[in-house]
Structure 1
Amino acid sequence: MDQACSTLGEGMLTAERLTAANINPRTGLATDYLNHFNEVVMLLEMLPDMPECAEDVLEWQPLSYEAHFEASNFAEKHLAIEAFRAAPVPVRRALRDVVATLDTAVCEKQGRLRSAEDVRLIAEQVAHETVEEVRPLIASASAIIHGEAIPDGTEDTEAQDAIDALFA
C-alpha cells in the first residue's frame, strides 16, 4: 500500500479493520510492540533469583516499531506498519520519544551487567531500578498507544483532522 495514500479511517485502515487486528483506530498503534520491552523487563526482574537470565538480557536489542513488526509473527504485521505510518505525527513522535528513553534505560542496565564481575552482586539493584524506571516508561508508551495520553501538538490540523475523521 502506498504510504502517501494511507489515512487512518480510510481504505485498508478503517476503524473496524484496525480494531479487529488489535490496532487502536484512533492512534494507529498496536500494543503488541510493548511485548518487545515486557520480555526484557521480565528477565531483568528475574535476575535476583536467576542470575543466568543476564545472558538473555544481554542479547536483547532495541527495535523500532516498524522493525519489531517486520520481524514478528503478528498476524496483521503489515497492517500494523501501515497504520503506524498513517498515525498522527505527534502520536508517532511521542511514542518514539518514550521508546528512545526505554531503549536507553535497558541499554544502561545491559552495560552494568556486562561490566559486573558478578551479576549476583548487582541483580537486586538492577531489578529494583527496572521496576522503578522501566515499568513506568512502558506504561507511558501504553497510554500513547491507547490514546489515553494524546501528546501536545495535536492541534496540528492535519493530525487532528485524521483523528476527527475516525469519529465522524
Structure 2
Amino acid sequence: MSAIATNVLAEAPAGLAGSVDAPRLSTDFLNRYSEALMLIEMAGMDEELVADLQAWQSISYREHFRASPLRCAASALAAYDRLDPTRARSFEDVCLSMTRLVRTVTALLAEIPQPKELPMILDVASDALRRQIGRATQFINANGAIDIAAFEDTALQAQIDALLAR
C-alpha cells in the first residue's frame, strides 16, 4: 500500500507526532555531510580541495540548529528533544560514523605519497557516506519514528509503509 505523505500528515489529529502542527526534524543538518561528500568526490581530481576537507568540522544536530537562522530551527530542536533516547543515540551513532569516515578519507588524501589505491578508496568511501546520509535522511523524514540502528532498505520501506498506513 502506498500513501501520499502530505495527505497522511494533513489527516493526522493536531498535536500527534505526524501532524502538521507537531515539531519536525529537519534534513538541513545533513547538508554538512553532503558538503563533505562533494569534497571527497572532487578531491580525487583536485588536490587543493584537501585543505577544505581538513577544515571541515562536524557538529551535533543540536549545535547546528542552535546556531541556525532558519525559521524551522526551533521546531527541529523541539522534535529532536522529543525523540526516544535510544533512537536519538542511534542517530548520533550514524552521525559519528559519517564523521569518522570523512576524517579517515581526509587523512588518506593528505598522505604523501597518496596510496595507489586512492581512487578505489574514494569510490568506496563516497558510496558508504552516501548510504549513511540516505539512512539519516530517512530517519529525519520519518521524524524519528523508525529505528535507524535496525533497518535495512527493505525493512525500512516496510516501516515507512506502516507509518503511512496509520
TM range, normalised to the smaller chain? 0.5 to 0.7
> What's 2:135 paired with?
140
Instruction: Map 1:118-133 to 2 at 5 A.
Output: 118=113, 124-133=119-128
Task: Provide the TM-score with structure 1 as the length reference.
Answer: 0.67
- Do the aligned residues in 1 keep the contact of 2:50 with 2:109 (CA within 8 Å)? yes
**C-alpha distance 48-30 of structure 1, shift in aligned 2 (>3 A):** same
Task: Provide the TM-score with structure 2 as the length reference.
Answer: 0.68
| One-letter amino acid of the counterpart of residue 97, structure 1 | D
Tell me, what secondary structure is at the counterpart of 1:15?
A: coil
For residues 135 and 102 of structure 2, what CA distance do their matches in structure 1 show? 15
The Cα offsets for residues 51-103 of structure 1, whole Å up to 9 and x where unpaired, read as: 21111111111111011112333222122112211122233122111111111
- Do the aligned residues in 1 keep the contact of 2:42 with 2:49 (CA within 8 Å)? yes
**What runs of 5+ residues in structure 1 fail to find an aligned partner?**
1-8, 24-28, 154-166
For residues 41 and 53 of structure 1, what CA distance do their matches in structure 2 show? 12
**C-alpha distance 14-152 of structure 1, shift in aligned 2 (>3 A):** closer
> What's 1:117 paired with?
112
- In the TM superposition, residue 129 of structure 1 has moved relative to its aligned partner by 2.6
- In the TM superposition, residue 118 of structure 1 has moved relative to its aligned partner by 5.0
The Cα offsets for residues 138-163 of structure 1, whole Å up to 9 and x where unpaired, read as: 1111121122971189xxxxxxxxxx
Sequence identity of aligned pairs in percent? 24
1:108 paired with 2:104, answer yes
Q: What is the count of residue pairs matched by the alignment?
A: 137
| One-letter amino acid of the counterpart of residue 135, structure 1 | R
Alpha-carbon RMSD across the aligned residues, in angstroms, is: 3.2
For residues 123 and 45 of structure 2, what CA distance do their matches in structure 1 show? 13
After TM superposition, the runs of 4+ consecutive aligned structure 1 residues lying more than 4 A away are 118-123
| One-letter amino acid of the counterpart of residue 134, structure 1 | L
1:16 paired with 2:20, answer yes
**C-alpha distance 130-71 of structure 1, shift in aligned 2 (>3 A):** farther
1:60 paired with 2:56, answer yes
